[in-house]
Structure 1
Amino acid sequence: MSTRNLERLFAPRSVAVIGASNRPQTVGALVMRNLLMGGFQGPIMPVNPKESAIAGVLAYKDVAALPVTPDMAVVCVPPKAVPDVVQALGDKGVLAAIVITAGLGQIKDDEGRTAQERMLEIAGHFGMRLLGPNCVGLLVPGVNLNASFLHEPAKPGKVAFVSQSGALCTAVLDWATPRGIGFSHFISLGDNLDVDFGDTIDYLGTHPDVRAILLYIEAVRDARKFMSAARAAARNKPVLAIKSGRVAEGAKAAASHTGALAGADHIYDAAFRRAGILRVYNLEELFEAVETVAHQRRLKGERLAIMTNGGGIGVMAVDDLIDMGGTMAVLSDETVGKLDAVLPPTWSRSNPIDIIGDAPGKRYTDSMEVLFTAPEVDSMLVMHAPTAISSPDEIAEKVIELAEKNKRAHITTCFVGEGAVANARRMFAQARLPSYETPDQAVRAFMHTVTFARNQKMLMETPASLPVEFTPATTTARLVIEGSMAKGHFVMSEPDAKAVFAAYGIPTVETHIARTPDEALEIADRMGCTVAVKILSPDITHKSDVGGVMLNLNSPEETRQAAQSMLNRVGETFPDAQIDGFTVQRMMRRPGAHELIIGVTTDAVFGLVVLFGEGGTAVEVIADRAVTLPPLNMNLARNLIENTRIYKRLQGYRDRPPADLDAICLTLIKVSQLVCDIPEITELDINPLFADSRGVLAVDARIKLDPKQTRGPHRLAIRPYPKEQEEWFTMTNGEKVLLRPIRPEDEPKHYEFVSSLTSEDIRFRFFGLVKELPHDQMARLTQIDYEREMAFIARADLDKDKAEETLGVVRTVTDADNERTEFSIVVRSDLKGSGLGVALLEKMIRYCRARGTRQMIGQVLKDNTRMLHFCENLGFRRERMVEEDVYELVLELQEVPERSAHDPA
């Protein structure tokens, strides 16, 4: 389930309280008090078999006795009684309930089922949505709903707060009220057994009264639903999160370096970045950030100019900016010259721009006007320290006046001090200009806007095409993996692991297996080069730690002796280890090459995670790593690399040329593709991966397998490109075209496709004349979430001398409950009658049927008779007129079962 029936929960017209009470300080009494005092306009119906009235309101013996079916019920009864109450609510037709009661998991019936299991089973039967259990309730100030037992009401506002912790709900409300911070929704999820983060984000992401969404997260249950909902919402409004439990105590030993390095908190960080969520670390920062990103104007770049009347506070701001990874604007000679004309001769002549302590309001605005026009300045921090000469109020008034004239300017203010500047800060607040008390607060707020802008850019960025096309030999890789599992080797031997990587086009070192020291001699003799020997054992994870690696062996006899001494040494140290022999590999000398690590591990929440960083034997000590969620493209791969310390060295320094970053990115993409294609892979390492200006080379390799792993949402938090949906189609003119899902890399060709359409095609598709689609809109059309949307395009190489072209596209957007999907289709004008339109729409119909979607709808202009007849021939019916000139067409995709009276519509 997702947003189904959530309107009844978050905007009910009537409420029943099951377990309402007159006993002071009980949950039932507090919920009734809050509902009544909140001014809720609909009926409030208490249920208590022992009372005739609760808080002066007529009470009812049981749910069946209620005079009307409430939209929502609040359940405050003991744990044992909750399943029976939910049954009664379902029988009554109630489709939403808040279960405040805790402890349902500890109560069992005669059959051993917990009260929690019974409650969920009953609610699922009726399609009833449950908030909780073990929550403090729900507040929606906009409809005067306070269905909670919180100690005070929430002020109305435009920010939604969603929390797993009831105690934190109390703390946040206590903190926010005196500061005048209001909320559109204040939601306690509790154990979130039904309504969870994904559901609430989906609902709030499209709600017109919600300007920003704040989350307090302890753990995510359904990673794929969470990521899809957050990515969709973050394109429309700021989503911010606090994640508790950042320090992992007692981490378990892992079978690979990757497993040891990829801590859970790093993975949440990666998931938040990928979803466009801005992460903060305390309540004050949370509300500072939401005020900043929700009110600030769009940031055009990251270069900050700091203007101040006090050198000390300016230098503090610079220190904070650099510490937080920000960028100082470097003033051009032209800008310095313009500032010379409006500032005293003693000004700093650089950034930070010290305009001297006696600066009046006009000096501030004169300097700001110069900086507004400076191409090297993207944003401005205006600072002021009170002096006996200048008036903070007069300066604030001038700054506000200038900001009003320059609506597109990005300005943050910092007036340090208390009493002397308090009114100036109030003036900024009324003018919606962010204002902060200290340099570090102001800089942190600016960096929130930078991080938010980066996240938004990553959501909308068009990835570059792959530097080279590669087609993995997936069948070969699978055969090697199946062979390894058949032998019971669930940690693959190094040669087998390298064979898998080679099948995916990753360059590897020539490697052979020797069962005995004498075989090692023979192999070294055949290879005729300097070799390295490593112990081959499924029980030894890190070979170099136990003397299981010998390098630079220059002769066959030296190789045999090294293998024998290694066998003796390991046998004494690990007498119980299974020794399968040795690997003998060509000794690769790459002077100046960087040693990197690329790895994959499986997280319990987000599934597969890709890791990149500095490799080598001291990889855990160096701990230079970044993680992300697959699948990857060139932009995401490069962003992963940029988040490590070794990135700067990879760009080259002194006489060391830059490494081939494209080759590293492509290797990351290949590894990502490998683990997406083969579900049995749960963990892998390439360490070291040599990287230099000539490319990359996998020197050591490790793959861990689990034959029980299958495909599914638990493996990948983000659904990868569905390659299985690719198919060829032959048009009536005999030309073959590829029908496949759209990819983010298709954006440039999609511009060409749209520009090739006739004005009539565009009017029929967009219901109006569209001259040009901006990047953010085109990104939404090409960067789709395959979990919720689908777009199939037709691509063809029309001429050997021309790049492939987009010939047509059909797309659907499905509601969160997979009930209805809305389609649109357009084919290039010169290809109408080629059968391509039918092929595309029939392919989409098959796809939606297969994923269980109930109904496909579309809107077609009344005068688009060709499309109307086209759809009707495929089984669509004209359902209704949406507008005077627009038909809604409907196609039933599934056989519709008969519904009971209480089934949700």
Structure 2
Amino acid sequence: MATDKVHDIMRYNYNPLDFMFAPKSVALIGASEKEGSVGRTLLWNLISHPFGGTVFPINPKRKNVLGIRAYSTIKELPETVDLAVIATPAVTVPNLIRECVEAGVKGAIIISAGFKEIGAEGIALEQQILKEAKKGNLRIIGPNCLGLICPPTGLNASFASTSAKSGNVAFISQSGAFCTSILDWSLRENLGFSGFISIGSMLDVNWGDLIYYFGDDPLTKSIVIYMESIGDARSFISAAREVALSKPIIVIKGGRTEEAAKAAASHTGALSSSDKVLAAAFRRCGVLQVDTIKEVFNMADLLAKQPRPKGRRLTILTNAGGPGVLATDALTWGKGELSLLSETTIEELNKILPTHWSHSNPIDILGDATPRRYAQALEIAAKDENSDGLLVILTPQDMTDPTKTAEELTKITGKINHKPVLASWMGGSGVATGVEILNRANIYTQPYPDDAARLFNLMGRYSYNLKGLYEIPSFSKADNLIDEDLAMNIIAHAHETNRTLLTEYESKQLLQAYSIPTVMTIIAQTVEKAIESAEKIGYPVVMKLHSETITHKTDVGGVKLNLTSQEDIKQAFLAIQKRVNDSDFLGVTIQPMINLEGYELILGSTVDPQFGPVLLFGTGGQLVEVYQDQALGLPPLNSTLAKRMMEQTKIYQALKGVRGRKSVNLEQLEQILVLFSQLVIEQPLIKEIDINPLLVSENNLIALDARVLLYPPDTERKDIILPAIRPYPNQYISMAQLANGKEIKIRPIRPEDEPQVASFCQNLSQESVYLRFFHSISYQSLISHERLTRICFIDYDQEIALVASYHHPDTDEKEILAIARLSRVHGNTEQAELGLLVKDNYQRQGLGTLLGQDLIKIAKKEGIKTVIADILPDNQGMQNLCLKLGFELHKTADLVNAVYIT
């Protein structure tokens, strides 16, 4: 292996986009001295904001620009530059990118407009650019963008009129004009940024790349996004699901109405998904979506200062009734709740408050409240376990001291680190000092209490989204309930007969292949067979037209209900046969007449142009369009995600039991959703599918009718939109034998494995932990839920973690013996890191070799070209294993770098 190639692999291992944000040199192609030009503004910003590197103007018509020596082309530069900024007409850009690649440039920012936003001609230019860039792995931000500013490094590679202050918020926008507005506003509000990027039309570097970059950046505390289109949905979701666990990602989405979506499309030239689909995607990956610009930065500030609430119950403390009432209205309208004060809390408040306090929430401590009264009441209220957060309201009355009250509260809030505390000091200059004191103590303030209550609701929503990422789902037994071959044969038969629509009978057979209960249905081609079928099922029955060409049976009189005799069957059969052409009539189906007592639900899936299959669940029946009570979700689902989807609907309250009715079997309903999601994922030729109604009651869950629409038979796989979230990779399951003869199962890790992984970690020696993680970790930290979540809840598109599992035949216990992980490097999808950990009492049994060999095979299948591993010099066993697997070892003073080229 060439030494320089290994050097490049190790150099850009952890921050592959550093050359964008901390370049050693920048070339500006299109540098100009013309007043008011983009080229002049870019050059001035680059040279007037020192970033510790060299700026090279490129202008073939000038020998110097703004007194700096200029070059005709990038090929003439005396050194290789990290970053090129391009501000020339669109038609010139493909050739310039080719020259950049030839000159060894690592990244480019294309400021120029005139690409896909103008139509086919611009799209063709973009494809030329991308083709040239891939020849040299050159990364591109833009085109059609403002550029980027990185205040921590001093870089200003934008044509903004001002620069941003340094801070801890990463701001990424698809609109350059929106960037300049936010920039002006941030200077007035004294808000600082760790990065300020106009991403443009995302030809190459996309949301996912930048979310990963700022997720790894220690200076960044939160990521704020203005989005008009999602672009690569899978990349966004993969990055957001990982980073949201440690840093807030707050999104404001433009183009949510039909009219605005059209305007956004003309601006970015990109496809857009419906607002409801995007909202479902944001929920799934822990992103907080807000509605206003004000909320974006308020939430970034609030989440940086205060802990997330565990729920949506707020305690309001006020010295005036009216503001408390307004805050309550805002809270409840936003689906928050007033916390119910416990008896203990009321008793404690009675001891320190005047007799006429409100004795309920909001806690009105009256207009003559002293700073001491405020502090004591807050301390008592904070201890109430029924509360998830606190809002303190102060109105400046004659007896009120806003400044001293703020000082007293800061002494108390230091002891409250498990619940968010918000404050609303109402008024102007009279409360300004108090507000400043609160802000310095990281107590979030808002001038209006109703706005504060709305922000608490957003915190609650954010916590709810993240909680879904942390919850342990029940173990899925779906694998044993699926007949995938039967499902594929049904679809293949429809395509062989040149059909895209399955018959009702085929649709139900498809559901049964995934163990989704359906009403018994028998096909009858003759009257005699129909009578025989009816008597087998038992009267009364329903008769329906069986046809491969007619879809809406009711429209042609093809449905006959409540048939109770042989004569009824005969007359119904003949009536249906008479209403349709012979070529459309393939007989009838006979089904039992079901008592519709219970709830009618709908369960379906359609294909979104960006997210692929999208699931729908909610109130069904004939009035499905009237009630509009449905929730959307992205497959695949597990039990937790299925429950989350159900909770989004109004019908869910009834399903849990209401007005004397008992709850339906929610566990079985969850399993039906999980199985349905697997059907959608595993049968990609399904374009649309819905079960309506899915009848559910206390003792019964059954699909009464189903409709399945397929992609046309001649559809190529590349034209089928893949799911935005990669499903569980069953293809990587295998069986193997250890040196001691034990049969083990090697498979990708599942979220349900968390209890077994905790047991695995508890049985590791400290030496094994140290050699794997390079430092000692306490067992308490090793098995913490948050840490195990990151191990078990993985994105299979970004990493594959294999577990070696042994099934003890005597106890039926399943034990994890080893875990091996292959993780793509952020920003470089062709490179991955290898990690391996084997239980101490199973070491030297060949487990490491088996798992390592499997991961190398997986790397090749996944398009990973380089596998790397960092090993401590003392870890001789891992070094020997890597040599056995074909790695090259490169020793440094502190580490051994293992590199494998696939």
Structure 1 length normalisation: TM-score?
0.91
Q: CA deviation at 1:355?
A: 0.4
One-letter code aligned to 2:618: G
Q: CA deviation at 1:2?
A: 12
Alignment equivalent of 1:345, drawn from 338, 345, 355: 355
Distance 2:273 2:75 in 1: 51
Distance 1:240 1:401 in 2: 31
Distance 2:624 2:546 in 1: 21
Q: Does 1:788 align with 2:781?
A: no
Residue equivalent to 2:900: 892
CA contact (8 A) 1:132 1:193 kept: yes
Distance 1:538 1:3 in 2: 57
Give deviations 1:301-333, integer Å, cap 9, x for gaps.
432111111111112211211111112211111
Q: Does 1:464 align with 2:469?
A: no
Q: How does 1:161-310 map to 2 (within 5 A)?
A: 161-248=171-258, 264-310=274-320
Q: CA deviation at 1:716?
A: 1.0
Q: CA deviation at 1:165?
A: 1.5
Distance 1:82 1:844, change over 3 A: closer
Give deviations 1:655-707, integer Å, cap 9, x for gaps.
21101111111001101111221221121101111112224111101111124
Residue equivalent to 1:507: 517
Report the 3-state secondary structure (helix = DSSP H, G, I; strand = E; otherwise coil) of the residue aligned with 1:584.
strand
Distance 1:801 1:80, change over 3 A: closer
Alignment equivalent of 1:23, drawn from 26, 29, 34: 34
Q: How does 1:487-566 map to 2 (within 5 A)?
A: 487-514=497-524, 520=530, 523-525=533-535, 527-536=537-546, 543-544=553-554, 548-565=558-575
Give deviations 1:421-448, integer Å, cap 9, x for gaps.
2332232222221111222210121122
Report the 3-state secondary structure (helix = DSSP H, G, I; strand = E; otherwise coil) of the residue aligned with 1:314.
helix
Q: CA deviation at 1:729?
A: 1.3
Structure 2 length normalisation: TM-score?
0.92
Alignment equivalent of 2:649, drawn from 644, 653, 664: 644
CA contact (8 A) 1:12 1:71 kept: yes
Residue equivalent to 2:267: none
Residue equivalent to 1:900: none
Alignment equivalent of 1:367, drawn from 349, 357, 377: 377
Q: CA deviation at 1:26?
A: 1.7
Unaligned stretches of 5+ residues in structure 1: 253-261, 895-905
Distance 2:900 2:221 in 1: 36
Report the 3-state secondary structure (helix = DSSP H, G, I; strand = E; otherwise coil) of the residue aligned with 2:778.
coil
CA contact (8 A) 1:532 1:586 kept: yes
Residue equivalent to 1:732: 739
Q: Does 1:600 align with 2:608?
A: no
Between the aligned residues of both structures, percent identity stands at: 37
Q: Which one is further off, 714-723 or 588-597?
A: 588-597
CA contact (8 A) 2:757 2:816 kept: yes
Distance 1:709 1:628, change over 3 A: farther
Q: CA deviation at 1:227?
A: 1.0
Distance 1:340 1:58, change over 3 A: same
Residue equivalent to 2:836: 825
Matched residue count = 876
Q: CA deviation at 1:540?
A: 5.5
Q: CA deviation at 1:129?
A: 1.5
CA contact (8 A) 1:293 1:448 kept: no
Distance 1:665 1:112 in 2: 47
Q: Does 1:55 align with 2:94?
A: no
Q: CA deviation at 1:619?
A: 0.8
Q: How does 1:449-460 map to 2 (within 5 A)?
A: 449-460=459-470
Distance 2:629 2:845 in 1: 55
Q: Which one is further off, 319-328 or 813-822?
A: 813-822
Residue equivalent to 1:613: 618
Report the 3-state secondary structure (helix = DSSP H, G, I; strand = E; otherwise coil) of the residue aligned with 2:584.
coil
Residue equivalent to 1:116: 126
CA contact (8 A) 2:170 2:214 kept: yes
Report the 3-state secondary structure (helix = DSSP H, G, I; strand = E; otherwise coil) of the residue aligned with 2:398.
coil
Alignment equivalent of 1:705, drawn from 701, 710, 715: 710
Q: Does 1:82 align with 2:82?
A: no
Distance 1:728 1:159 in 2: 48
* RMSD of aligned residue pairs (Cα, Å): 2.9
Give deviations 1:131-184, integer Å, cap 9, x for gaps.
111111111122222222223322222111111112222222233322222222
Residue equivalent to 1:93: 104
Q: Does 1:623 align with 2:628?
A: yes
Residue equivalent to 2:137: 127
CA contact (8 A) 2:169 2:194 kept: yes
Distance 1:475 1:321 in 2: 52
Report the 3-state secondary structure (helix = DSSP H, G, I; strand = E; otherwise coil) of the residue aligned with 1:794.
strand
Q: CA deviation at 1:753?
A: 1.6
Distance 1:837 1:87 in 2: 44
Q: Does 1:778 align with 2:783?
A: no
Distance 2:126 2:578 in 1: 58
Q: CA deviation at 1:346?
A: 0.3
Distance 1:198 1:742, change over 3 A: same
Distance 1:133 1:663, change over 3 A: same
Residue equivalent to 1:377: 387
Q: CA deviation at 1:65?
A: 3.0
Residue equivalent to 2:591: 586
One-letter code aligned to 1:741: P
Alignment equivalent of 2:845, drawn from 786, 810, 834: 834
Report the 3-state secondary structure (helix = DSSP H, G, I; strand = E; otherwise coil) of the residue aligned with 2:819.
strand
Residue equivalent to 2:43: 32
CA contact (8 A) 1:2 1:199 kept: no
Q: Which one is further off, 515-524 or 867-876?
A: 515-524
Give deviations 1:340-387, integer Å, cap 9, x for gaps.
001000001111101001111111001011122222223111111121
One-letter code aligned to 2:760: F
Q: Does 1:849 align with 2:860?
A: yes
Report the 3-state secondary structure (helix = DSSP H, G, I; strand = E; otherwise coil) of the residue aligned with 1:12.
coil
Q: Which one is further off, 235-244 or 639-648?
A: 235-244
Q: CA deviation at 1:536?
A: 4.3
Distance 1:544 1:4, change over 3 A: farther
CA contact (8 A) 2:882 2:898 kept: no
One-letter code aligned to 1:72: L
CA contact (8 A) 1:598 1:613 kept: yes
CA contact (8 A) 1:47 1:62 kept: yes
Q: Which one is further off, 402-411 or 69-78?
A: 402-411
Q: Which one is further off, 100-109 or 10-19?
A: 100-109
Distance 1:870 1:611 in 2: 48
CA contact (8 A) 1:157 1:184 kept: yes
One-letter code aligned to 2:731: E
Distance 1:5 1:408, change over 3 A: closer
Give deviations 1:269-319, integer Å, cap 9, x for gaps.
111111111001111111111111122124344321111111111122112
Give deviations 1:617-655, integer Å, cap 9, x for gaps.
111111110011111100000000000000000011122
Q: How does 1:476-495 map to 2 (within 5 A)?
A: 476-495=486-505
Distance 2:875 2:106 in 1: 41
Distance 1:7 1:398 in 2: 45
Report the 3-state secondary structure (helix = DSSP H, G, I; strand = E; otherwise coil) of the residue aligned with 1:287.
helix
Alignment equivalent of 2:332, drawn from 316, 322, 330: 322
Alignment equivalent of 2:697, drawn from 688, 692, 713: 692
Distance 1:247 1:553, change over 3 A: farther
Distance 1:713 1:823 in 2: 32
Distance 1:130 1:759, change over 3 A: closer
Q: Which one is further off, 553-562 or 271-280?
A: 553-562
One-letter code aligned to 2:256: R
